[in-house]
């Protein structure tokens, strides 16, 4: 299996437990790891045999429009579900970094989901 990684995609989503934290979109950095067999894409240089990372990034950028979450855990879960259903990787891992604690570089959640029937990656 191979991976495509989109690292530190900057998005602005409404996430937070208190209402005032969700009042305005806040900056999050999202890393997306897409696992799939890319042998055919490497052999024939054809985009149809891989996952279009530009399209994934655009979908993630738009995903927060009109939505809000209390927890970044739920945000990561919803993103995993969307990517699995729309782009068909065998496995997706989402890490969301949130900059909410002044004394910490960031808080992050990392979640991995597999497509039903796909073998989980060790």
Alpha carbons 91 and 98: distance in angstroms, whole number: 23
The domain locations on the chain are 2-114
pLDDT digit string (tens) for 15-61? 999 999 999 999 999 999 999 999 999 999 999 999 999 999 999 99
CATH assignment, 2-114: 3.30.1130.10
Alpha carbons 18 and 79: distance in angstroms, whole number: 22
**pTM listed for this prediction:** 0.91
pLDDT digit string (tens) for 94-108? 999 999 999 999 999
């Amino acid at each position: 299996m191979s991976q495509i990684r989109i690292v530190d995609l900057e998005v602005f989503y409404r996430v937070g437990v208190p209402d005032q934290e969700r009042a305005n979109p806040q900056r999050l950095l999202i890393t997306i790891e897409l696992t799939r067999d890319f042998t055919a894409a490497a052999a024939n240089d054809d985009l149809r045999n891989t996952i279009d990372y530009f399209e994934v990034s655009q979908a993630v950028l738009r995903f927060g429009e009109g939505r809000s979450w209390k927890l970044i855990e739920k945000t990561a879960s919803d993103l995993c579900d969307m990517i699995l259903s729309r782009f068909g990787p065998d496995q997706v891992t989402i890490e969301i970094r949130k900059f909410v604690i002044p004394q910490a570089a960031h808080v992050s959640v990392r979640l991995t989901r597999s497509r039903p029937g796909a073998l989980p990656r060790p």
